[in-house]
Structure 1
Amino acid sequence: MKPNIAIIGAGLAGLTLARELSADAHITLYEKARGLGGRMSTRRNDTHQWDHGAQFFTARSKAFQTLLAPLISSGTVVEWQPNITTLSPDQAPYKRPWFEPHYVAAPGMNSLLKALGQDLDIHLSTRVEQVVAHNGGWQLFDDNGQLLGEFDWVVSSAPLPQTQELLPARLLGDTLARYQMLPCYALLLTINDADLPHFDAAKVNNSPLRWISFNHRLPGRNINAGTVVAHSSDEWAAAHLEDDQETVKQLLIEHFCALTRVNPAAITSTQLHRWRYALSADVPDPDCEFVLNAPAKLAACGDWCLGGRVEAAFTSAQQLAKALRTEL
């Protein structure tokens, strides 16, 4: 009889784990958001869209390249060959070369997750609030105290702080405490393309901003309107995390305009997204690709185990799946 496994979080790690184990177990995924994506989310309105989390990804492992191959063939994943520059408030811009393929999903970054989520049992808009031991297994309860189900195993692929809150500290606490996640702000702007510089994206030095992308110029975007995503540095975000959000937004707009020489009057709309758990701090042990307590039938995986890259989420989940197959 196949075991029942609950996976908390339907980002890349959770979806990868579910796909890897679908032949070995009954898998149910719970995602608190209304749609798939996590930090590969795409925000849309009637005329614009912003990939306000991950901007691109690389594929350095053979396993991840194999996963992407059919998605590249179908056009869901597209190689991105942008004009990249480096900006700094105290130095002239200079071109920034890339030495490996970089990819985006189309028409939005969450398209990759939608493709991977097909045929999986995913419960969206469902926040898991409690994980409670019961009869040798686990019960999951939502934020209304309603029982979601009983499971043999529970795996969290949620961001680290949420994983720490959900999974019993006495069983995984010491291991999880070794990891850390860092915040980031995403500034989302609409600006006519004619009012923007010629480059497609910029790495930023010596500024509260660390990255600027003209999102509408990414491959496969079915939009004509100009959209900008500008990410802050994690240090600046941490220092201003609880500041008045309108003040934070205006400060980042000022830095964006100073760096790009865009006239503030050209900006037609502004939004700010606060990612509390955006980036991974230094990895304490690169050989520890996941967290597992087999006797307790609890586990965790995610990009935070391996440094925060998109591919890290896939690798963490794939390696956990290998370990779990020996336990099921």
Structure 2
Amino acid sequence: MKPNIAIIGAGLAGLTLARELNEHADITLFEKARGLGGRMSTRRRGEHRWDHGAQFFTARSHTFKALLKPYIESSVVVEWQPNITTLSPEQPPYKRPWFEPHYVATPGMNSLLKTMSTGLNITLQTRVEKLRQEAGKWQLFDDKSEPLGEFDWVISSAPLPQTEVLLPFKPADWAGFGMQPCYALMLKVEDGELPVWDAARVNDSPLGWIAFNHRLPGRNRNFGTVVAHSTSSWAETHLEDDQDSVREQLTAEFCMLTGVKATSVLEAHLHRWRYALATEVEGEPVGYVLDAKRKLAACGDWCLGGQVESAFTSAHQLAARLRADACNA
């Protein structure tokens, strides 16, 4: 009989894990949000779209390249070749080259995950709040204490702080892992008011990254959309500040850096990513956290440094370990 596995989180790590274990187990994914994506999600407001989390990704390992190949062939994933610059309040901008392919999903970053989710059993808008073990089975409950089912295994692909609270591991099991916050500023600006470059790394500023989202491949260029990410250090300092004040400060910084007039900013929205960036893992990184005896595990980009590919690699390594353990059981 196949084991029942609950996977918490339907971002890239959760979906990768589900796809790689789907033939070996009965999988149920639980996602607290209304849609798929995690930090590869896309925010919508009318005709405007903002990829307010990850804006691109690289592919360095053979396994991740193999995953992407059919999606590249079908144009769900395409290479992004932007005119990218470097900005600083005190220095003139200069062109910034990229030395490896960078990719985006089309028409939004969450499009890759939507395609990957085909055929999987996913329950959306469901927050797993607690779990307890009875007679060798894990009982899951939502935030209203309603039961969500009985499972042999529970695996979390949620951000580290949420996973730490939910799974009863020892504190030492989380040693070496950490996450940092980030603000995402989403602006509506007519394209003609924007500079000619497409994206910018920013130095010596509360902002660390600016991209003109509508100029990414496959987007609607008729509607000017900007995504600007704060640095993690600035976000950490101002995490609990009044959010209107944060939005206004970051919008003013954007205008100062780009030369865009404040009157040209037609809309400004803010998203606070409490758990956006993984801290650097010291020593030889481990791709997952596992308690095989109690049938608990966790994976995610935070295990391997925080990139999009890190989320895939973490889940891929955990799936291989679980398949190997099942074969040797």
TM range (shorter): over 0.9
Gaps of 5+ in 2: none
Instruction: Specify which of 264, 287, 292 is matched with residue 294 of structure 1.
Output: 292
Q: Match for residue 94 of structure 2?
A: 94
* 8 Å Cα contact 1:129/1:141 also seen in 2: yes
In structure 1, the residue matched to 2:252 is: 254
- The letter for the 1-side match of 2:215 is R
CA distance in 2 between counterparts of 1:66 and 1:232 reads 33
Give the match for residue 213 of structure 1.
Answer: 211
How far apart in 2 are the matches of 1:73 and 1:222? 21
Which of 230, 234, 240 is the equivalent residue of 2:232? 234
Of 175, 178, 181 in structure 1, the residue corresponding to residue 176 of structure 2 is 178
Counterpart CA distance in 2 for 1:327 and 1:287 is 21
Cross-structure match for 2:314: 316
Conservation of the 8 A alpha-carbon contact between 2:207 and 2:250: yes
Spell out the pairing of 1:94-173 with structure 2 (5 A cutoff): 94-168=94-168, 171-173=169-171
Is the 2:215–2:221 Cα contact (8 Å) retained in structure 1? no
The aligned counterpart of 1:51 is 51
Instruction: Report how far residue 315 of structure 1 moved.
Output: 0.1
Q: Which segment is superposed worse, 151-160 or 218-227?
A: 218-227
**C-alpha deviation, 1:141, in angstroms:** 0.4
Determine if contact 1:189/1:267 at 8 Å carries over to the other structure. yes
* Counterpart in the other structure of 1:16: 16
> Aligned equivalents of 1:76 and 1:316: distance in 2?
22
Residue 228 of structure 2 corresponds to residue 225 of structure 1: no
What stretches of structure 1 of length at least 5 have no aligned partner?
none
Tell me, in whole angstroms, the C-alpha distance in 2 between the residues paired with 1:5 and 1:173: 24
For 1:103 and 1:116, the matched residues in 2 are separated by 16
> Contact 1:42 / 1:108 at 8 angstroms: preserved in 2?
yes
1:267 aligns with 2:265: yes
Measure, in 2, the Cα distance between the counterparts of 1:163 and 1:148. 17
Paired residue secondary structure (2:103):
strand
Measure how far apart 1:206 and its partner are: 0.3
SS of the equivalent of 2:138 reads strand
**Matched residues in 2 for 1:279 and 1:48: separation?**
25
Structure 2 SS opposite 1:91: coil
In percent, how many aligned pairs have the same letter?
A: 66
Paired residues of 1:28 and 1:122 also in contact (CA < 8 A)? yes
Deviation at 1:285, TM superposition (A): 3.8
| Aligned counterpart, 1:202 | 200
**Aligned partner of 1:81: which letter?**
Q
Is 1:5 the counterpart of 2:37? The answer is no
Q: Which runs of 4+ in 1 moved over 3 A?
A: none
Shift of 1:172: 4.0
Q: Secondary structure, in 3 states, of the residue corresponding to 2:35? A: coil
Aligned: 1:25 with 2:25? yes
Q: How many residues align?
A: 326
Deviation of 1:327 after TM superposition, in Å, equals 2.5
Q: 25-34 vs 130-139, which deviates more?
A: 130-139
Quote how far apart the aligned CAs of 1:287 are: 3.2
Q: Verify the 8 A CA contact 1:47 1:223 in the aligned structure 2.
A: no
Please, what TM-score do these two structures have when normalized by structure 1?
0.98
Counterpart contact for 2:159–2:302, Cα < 8 Å: yes
CA-to-aligned-CA distance 1:88-116 (integer Å, 9 cap, x gap): 00100000000000000000000011011
Deviation at 1:191, TM superposition (A): 0.3
Shift of 1:2: 0.6
